[in-house]
Structure 1
Amino acid sequence: MSIATENDSSSAPSKFQMIADGEATAILPTGGKQKPITVIGTEAIRATFDDLCLQQAINSRLAPGVTDLVLNPDAHCGYGAPVGCVMVSPTHIYPGPVGVDIKCSMSLLQTSLPADAILDRPTRRALINAICERTPTGAGRGQRNAPKSRHVGEALGKRVLVEGASRGVCEELGIPPEWAARCEDSAHVGHDDSTGALALRLEQLLPQMHRFDAKMTQLGSYGGGNHFGECEVVHVEANDRAREAARVFGLVDGGVAFLSHCGSRGIGHQLASGQFKALQGKFTQWDIPLPGGDRELVYAPLGTPEADAYIDDMALGANFATVNHLLINALVLEAFQEVLPGVAGQLVYFISHNIARKEVVNNNIAWVHRKGATRAFPAGHHALRDTPFAETGHPILLPGNPQAGSVVMAADAGAAVSCYSVNHGAGRQLGRKAAKRALDQKEVDRSFEEADILTNCRAYPIDEAPAAYKDFDEVLRSVKSAGLASEVARLKAKFVIKDGDQADD
């Protein structure tokens, strides 16, 4: 295939050039002898990457210990590293390519309801009200804002952070314990692969934590900004592979499902912010140069006390995020059962897109940092051995927007080129302030009414409107054309639980 260079979409010529090497793949040279950045995206998608995003990618690739960097179709500016990137290092750990919302994730609950059970608007409105009585939204909101939520005190909160979705924690919160087996990681351990390290680290942190007990009351809540809950109708793709994958995943064609997006709430933000501050202080104290001069690209070499502390704090936040999702799903199912008695539900999957994990990359153990990127292990991958997904690949949950829909995918063998990762969604094309300037509130609300999608909002958050995000179909075309993953099912929204506060991540 012919090689072509291209500039980004800004009106001024870009100082960066991506070199296309396929319909939906390219490389971005770093200016040095290092392996170039792998870029996933069609020409139209590559045109959405502005110079700041590309500069962050280069800074991240040139940072100490980094061996691989992948830029996904949803990429846009983030903390040090772009949102929508994968960063691999066998020797260093980086907080920036995880971000301040540790283990922001997606989960999907399949119910036993057929689509016609939620056709009428009064039923959907009753479901919205029942869910909001149990799962509060908003950056500062917790259990006191939802009369039918679960009470979580300080003692149980400590167990959540240390144990993750253990059987004991699940049973105490009314979460079906078998759902833990449907998690990418149901529990995270400390730097020495023990829960004891997490218990010790938490005891060290507690005296300096601001309002720990209040943060534990946020368990089972969505937060604000781009976090959401969506009631979906499942449409399985009409081919044998998709049907078999849907069967293994537990997806029901024409059935009602519920998709959730949230993370570790206030406790994750506090843990991440503390780590940024501590590591930035070390860089100043030791007069270490920052990669690209960016304070958000601080790092710690593995095996140092600083790296151990970050890994422990990330695990504490990740455990909260895991149980937060599982509790939300339990509360959502409870709400459905209140409005439509007899409904059953099964967790399809829970998967993160803001986390660092130890994985095998190029036959070596390395820390794979996924910032706005999600794991994509195909059928036959060694990590899926002895799981239900060994022959299909695990479910990949990709949110688009309520009007374009979201998708469930399964990875293909070609995902090796992206370090077994894909994008975490559509990705922003308008910043929040730009969206508020460019979009019309009445038109946004009218579009939801015309699509017959109900929401809990008096006015849909304009900075979260579909037009603030990239063309989801073009994003999906990038993933499929690059050979990373195939579509199993499309999810079409019937109502949305949302909040207008600024995003947690």
Structure 2
Amino acid sequence: MHTSGKAIIETEQIPIKLWLDEEQMDEGALEQARNLANLPFAFKHIAIMPDTHEGYGMPIGAILATQGAIVPNAVGVDIGCGMCSLRTNLTEVETADLKAIMGIIRDTVPVGFNHHKTPQDEAWMPERKGSLPIVEQEYESALYQLGTLGGGNHFIEIQKGSDGYIWIMIHSGSRNVGFTVANHYDDVAKQLNTAAGVDVSQDLAYIPESSDQFELYWNEMNYCLEFALANRKLMMERAKSAFRQVLPEVEFADFINKPHNFAAVEEHFGETVIVHRKGATRARKGEWGMIPGSQGTRSFLVKGKGEAQSFESCAHGAGRIMSRAKARKTLDLKAEIKALKELGVLHAIRHRTDLDEAPGSYKDIDEVMRNQVDLVDVQIELQPLAVIKG
């Protein structure tokens, strides 16, 4: 045990610091963490957040700091995925109004694989800086994806805050642009590593800083980060418009944005390193962040404590406790719907295929929060009122 986090694994090249008990980690995520700890360019230690679960190459809820190399799969396929929150001046919303607002949002924000039928205003698109071959290739189709939610665990949620106000929270990413950039540069990294005689079987292929491809990935990743933010902002505009149509007197304030799939050059332990956060949120001292639960549990607005041992990071949500396939197979549809109904949540579970996003497929958010009291201070608790899921 140590003062920050829960446990340390010291059997690999560098330590793995856990913010949960080792037995709470699934075997796949643990093996992936060990692989990270044995990368020759990994720095200091690997940090594993309490919402961790197996990902592709690297666990979701992990932080990897590197020197001299970047790992596309340690950023992930949904580059720039993150959340934003906005406070309204409302203290209550009648159920009928809430249903009307959600109906308008559903009409104006495509979900799942759906895109807009017309290109969106190009003024929303980030400025293109430097060489961006994949972004250029995807740019036109991205205009149809701007302001769309996507699938999986992405959501638009109306919440009641412990501060007395109604909040809007949106979780989404860079859509197909980020996915295409991520896969392209993972392939590039594999080719570079294979040519250099490096084993790529762990899905942790890397691009050395000395390669021309390093700057290309860096430029494209940062564009995807900005595109993901623009995507969330446009959806938030559509949500604001829905509120105004139903409740014309509404006002908005306190926009917060936090990505949780990205890499950034930062100073840690006296060194300049590339910090990869995959399903992890930056939590510098005093920095605002969001940690959502599931559609049946509380979410939290937090301020970071700047904990050095977690590379100034925290969890990005509740984290999955079972795979999507297992959730669809094992959870009780009627029981999950009944629980949400009792909570009074206008939810997104209709069919067995929706069970992968049922509260029962997620970890206990209260336990996740208890495991990171050294990383964040809770400012506002948010109860779900109505949810649209991807």
Using structure 2 for the length normalisation, give the TM-score: 0.94
Please give the alpha-carbon distance, in whole angstroms, between the structure 1 residues aligned to 2:108 and 2:101.
11
Does residue 472 of the first structure (1) align with residue 382 of the second (2)?
A: no
Does residue 430 of the first structure (1) align with residue 322 of the second (2)?
A: yes
Aligned with residue 385 of structure 2, among 485, 488, 494: 494
Aligned with residue 54 of structure 1, among 14, 19, 30: 30
Structure 1 residue aligned with 2:272? 365
Secondary structure in 2 aligned to 1:88?
strand
299-308 vs 368-377, greater mean Cα deviation: 299-308
Residues 220 and 26 from structure 1, CA distance in 2 versus in 1: closer, same or farther, beyond 3 angstroms? same
Please give the alpha-carbon distance, in whole angstroms, between the structure 1 residues aligned to 2:135 and 2:329.
42
Please give the alpha-carbon distance, in whole angstroms, between the structure 1 residues aligned to 2:240 and 2:274.
35
Deviations 1:200-235 (A, max 9, x none): 324x764xx36x423321111111110001100110
Secondary structure in 1 aligned to 2:127?
helix
Aligned with residue 82 of structure 2, among 86, 97, 105: 105
301-310 vs 89-98, greater mean Cα deviation: 301-310
278-287 vs 70-79, greater mean Cα deviation: 278-287
- How far residue 22 of structure 1 moved from its aligned partner, in angstroms, is 5.1
Aligned with residue 410 of structure 1, among 285, 303, 307: 303
Structure 2 residue aligned with 1:401? 294
Structure 1 residue aligned with 2:125? 160
- How far residue 66 of structure 1 moved from its aligned partner, in angstroms, is 0.7
Secondary structure in 1 aligned to 2:51?
strand
Residues 303 and 285 from structure 1, CA distance in 2 versus in 1: closer, same or farther, beyond 3 angstroms? closer
Secondary structure in 2 aligned to 1:343?
coil
Secondary structure in 2 aligned to 1:106?
strand
8 Å CA contact retained: 2:14, 2:38: no
Aligned residue identity for 2:132: R
Structure 2 unaligned blocks of 5 or more? none
User: Which one has a bigger Cα radius of gyration?
Assistant: 1
Structure 1 residue aligned with 2:7? 26
Please give the alpha-carbon distance, in whole angstroms, between the structure 1 residues aligned to 2:11 and 2:190.
25
Structure 1 residue aligned with 2:243? 336
Aligned residue identity for 1:142: H
Deviations 1:13-48 (A, max 9, x none): xxxxxxx335842101233xx33111112x4xx422
Aligned with residue 327 of structure 1, among 230, 234, 239: 234
- How far residue 404 of structure 1 moved from its aligned partner, in angstroms, is 1.9
Residues 205 and 471 from structure 1, CA distance in 2 versus in 1: closer, same or farther, beyond 3 angstroms? closer
Aligned residue identity for 2:184: G
Please give the alpha-carbon distance, in whole angstroms, between the structure 2 residues aligned to 1:23 and 1:306.
37
- How far residue 424 of structure 1 moved from its aligned partner, in angstroms, is 0.6
Structure 2 residue aligned with 1:72? 49
Aligned residue identity for 1:376: A
Aligned with residue 261 of structure 1, among 150, 153, 171: 171
Please give the alpha-carbon distance, in whole angstroms, between the structure 1 residues aligned to 2:19 and 2:347.
33
Please give the alpha-carbon distance, in whole angstroms, between the structure 2 residues aligned to 1:336 and 1:312.
36
Please give the alpha-carbon distance, in whole angstroms, between the structure 1 residues aligned to 2:349 and 2:296.
16
- How far residue 281 of structure 1 moved from its aligned partner, in angstroms, is 2.4
Alignment of 1:213-224 (within 5 A): 213-224=140-151
Please give the alpha-carbon distance, in whole angstroms, between the structure 2 residues aligned to 1:359 and 1:316.
19
Aligned with residue 311 of structure 2, among 401, 408, 419: 419
Over 4 Å off, 4+ runs: none
Aligned residue identity for 1:268: G
Please give the alpha-carbon distance, in whole angstroms, between the structure 2 residues aligned to 1:338 and 1:30.
59
Does residue 274 of the first structure (1) align with residue 184 of the second (2)?
A: yes
Does residue 143 of the first structure (1) align with residue 116 of the second (2)?
A: yes
8 Å CA contact retained: 1:426, 1:472: yes
Structure 1 residue aligned with 2:331? 439
Structure 2 residue aligned with 1:312? 219
Residues 50 and 227 from structure 1, CA distance in 2 versus in 1: closer, same or farther, beyond 3 angstroms? same
Structure 1 unaligned blocks of 5 or more? 1-19, 145-149, 164-194, 236-252, 379-392, 500-505
Please give the alpha-carbon distance, in whole angstroms, between the structure 1 residues aligned to 2:189 and 2:277.
20
Please give the alpha-carbon distance, in whole angstroms, between the structure 2 residues aligned to 1:264 and 1:23.
33
Does residue 133 of the first structure (1) align with residue 107 of the second (2)?
A: yes
Residues 346 and 91 from structure 1, CA distance in 2 versus in 1: closer, same or farther, beyond 3 angstroms? same
Please give the alpha-carbon distance, in whole angstroms, between the structure 1 residues aligned to 2:216 and 2:11.
31
Does residue 298 of the first structure (1) align with residue 263 of the second (2)?
A: no
Does residue 114 of the first structure (1) align with residue 88 of the second (2)?
A: no
Structure 2 residue aligned with 1:189? none
Q: Root-mean-square deviation (CA), in Å?
A: 1.9
8 Å CA contact retained: 2:305, 2:312: no
Structure 2 residue aligned with 1:90? 67
